[in-house]
Each structure stands twice: as structure tokens, then as C-alpha cells.
């Protein structure tokens, strides 16, 4: 196998920039496993996640959205790369104490251009580790509560479109079909591996860190 074809986990990852993965790539349906450790390479990948998130003008990004099958996500509710004091990293997050119900518009960097009203608990408690390895517990409401629920869903392979009523989902059928057609075209062009190859790549990444 020529060196350039080596799977990225066998090469220097700095040579393999992360990219945001779009629906309906199967890794978006993967249930991610907890991380066992935080190391320099993970910190570098987290930095790359923030950069990709800002580039796409997002406020949250989950590991599997950049091909990393780990239970972690990043947020910055300001979407402003200058406001680094608002950057948060959530590793192995656990949600509890959902309260109330609220509906608001959501979008997703893996479904660019698609928006819908999503109903979720209005308040939630989240416990997670940060990059320093400290456990942090936060009681959140409104937008912060919505974002951590949306991102934790990603770690379980759930997308916001899964939380829509059948009729609301039907309204998005056309753009969703377009995403699916584009995905198949990319696959035919060889830009996206087949399901089996993706699964073995994911298993290898899991073996390294979970
Ligand atoms: Co999303």
C-alpha cells in the first residue's frame, strides 16, 4: 500500500486536517464511547474543532462531526473566535435533571442550511470533564441547555431531525434528499469510503483512546 493511502490513524495526524462531516455519513449515527485519557494530540484536535466551528459560524461541534468517535464536544455560544473566554470543552458529558419544555429553532453544521423548531427540556444539568481533566457540573437553561442537549445527542448518534414530528420532517424531505444524493455522488467519486471501511477506521480510533 503506498504511504499516501495509509489510514490516517497510522500517520501523523497533523498531516490529516479534520473536516466537518455532513449528513448522511454513517459516523453521525455512531454511538461514541467515553474517552479514557486527554493528551497533547487530543488537545490539538480540540483546537482544530474550535477553528472549524468558527469557520462554519457554529456554536457547537461534536467529535463524530469531525470523524472522531469520542464522547466530547466543544461550544462557544458567541460563535466569535476572539472571545476565547467563552470556549468550553465537554468530555464524557452526562446530562441529568431535565426540567420544563421549550421549543426553538436549531441548525447543525452537519446539515448546513437546514433549520427547524425543536422541542427539548428547558433546563438541564450537565457533568463533564474539561481539557484539564477537572470534573465540572453546570446547571443550564435556555440556549446553553439546548446546545449541550443537541451536542450530547450527536454523541449518541442522534440528529435534531430525529426529534421532529413526522409532518415537520416531511417538510425537510427535499433538502434531506439532496444531502443524500450528494453523499452518494461523493462516494461514487471515491471521496467517501464504503461503510465497512468507515467502521474499521472508527474501531481503530476507538481502540486508541476509549
Ligand atoms: Co449538530
Ligand 1 center to residue 8 CA distance, Å?
24
CA of 202 to the centre of ligand 1 (A): 19
Residues 6+ apart with CB under 8 A from 202: 27, 30, 69
Take residue 165 and report the three cell numbers written for it. 414530528
Residues 6+ away with beta carbon under 8 Å from 12? none
Selected catalytic residue, list 151, 166, 174, 182: 151
Give the mean pLDDT of 107-124.
98
CA of 30 to the centre of ligand 1 (A): 14
Q: Which residues of 165-175 are buried (b: 16+ CB within 10 A; e: fewer)?
A: eeeeeeebeee
C-alpha of residue 153 to centroid of ligand 1, in Å: 8
Q: Give how far the C-alpha of residue 153 lies from the chain's centroid of Cα atoms, to the nearest Å.
A: 9
pTM: 0.92
Q: Mark the residues whose beta carbon lies below 5 A from ion ligand 1.
A: 108
For the segment 151-176, what is each residue's pLDDT rounded down to a tens digit? 999 999 999 999 999 999 999 999 99
Q: Is 48 a catalytic residue?
A: no
Span 197-206, pLDDT tens digits: 999 999 999 9
Q: How far is the CA of 69 from the centre of ligand 1 (A)?
A: 15
Cα separation, 91 vs 1, in Å, equals: 35
- For the stretch 59-114, pLDDT in tens is 999 999 999 999 999 999 999 999 999 999 999 999 999 999 999 999 999 999 99
Amino acid at each position: 500500500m503506498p504511504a499516501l493511502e495509509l489510514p490516517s490513524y497510522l500517520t501523523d495526524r497533523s498531516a490529516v486536517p479534520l473536516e466537518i462531516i455532513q449528513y448522511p455519513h454513517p459516523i453521525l449515527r455512531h454511538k461514541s464511547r467515553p474517552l479514557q485519557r486527554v493528551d497533547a494530540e487530543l488537545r490539538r484536535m480540540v483546537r482544530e474543532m474550535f477553528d472549524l466551528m468558527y469557520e462554519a459560524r457554529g456554536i457547537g461541534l461534536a467529535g463524530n462531526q469531525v470523524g472522531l468517535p469520542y464522547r466530547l464536544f466543544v461550544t462557544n455560544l458567541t460563535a466569535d473566535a476572539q472571545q476565547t473566554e467563552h470556549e468550553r470543552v465537554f468530555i464524557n458529558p452526562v446530562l441529568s435533571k431535565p426540567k420544563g419544555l421549550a421549543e426553538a429553532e436549531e441548525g447543525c453544521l452537519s446539515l448546513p442550511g437546514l433549520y427547524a423548531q425543536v422541542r427539548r427540556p428547558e433546563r438541564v444539568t450537565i457533568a463533564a470533564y474539561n481539557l484539564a481533566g477537572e470534573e465540572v457540573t453546570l446547571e443550564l437553561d435556555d440556549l446553553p441547555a439546548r446546545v449541550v442537549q443537541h451536542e450530547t445527542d450527536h454523541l449518541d448518534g442522534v440528529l435534531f431531525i430525529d426529534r421532529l414530528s413526522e409532518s415537520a420532517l416531511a417538510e425537510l424531505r427535499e433538502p434531506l434528499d439532496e444531502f443524500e444524493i450528494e453523499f452518494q455522488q461523493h462516494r461514487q467519486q471515491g471521496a467517501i469510503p464504503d461503510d465497512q471501511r468507515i467502521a474499521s477506521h472508527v474501531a481503530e480510533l476507538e481502540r486508541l483512546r476509549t
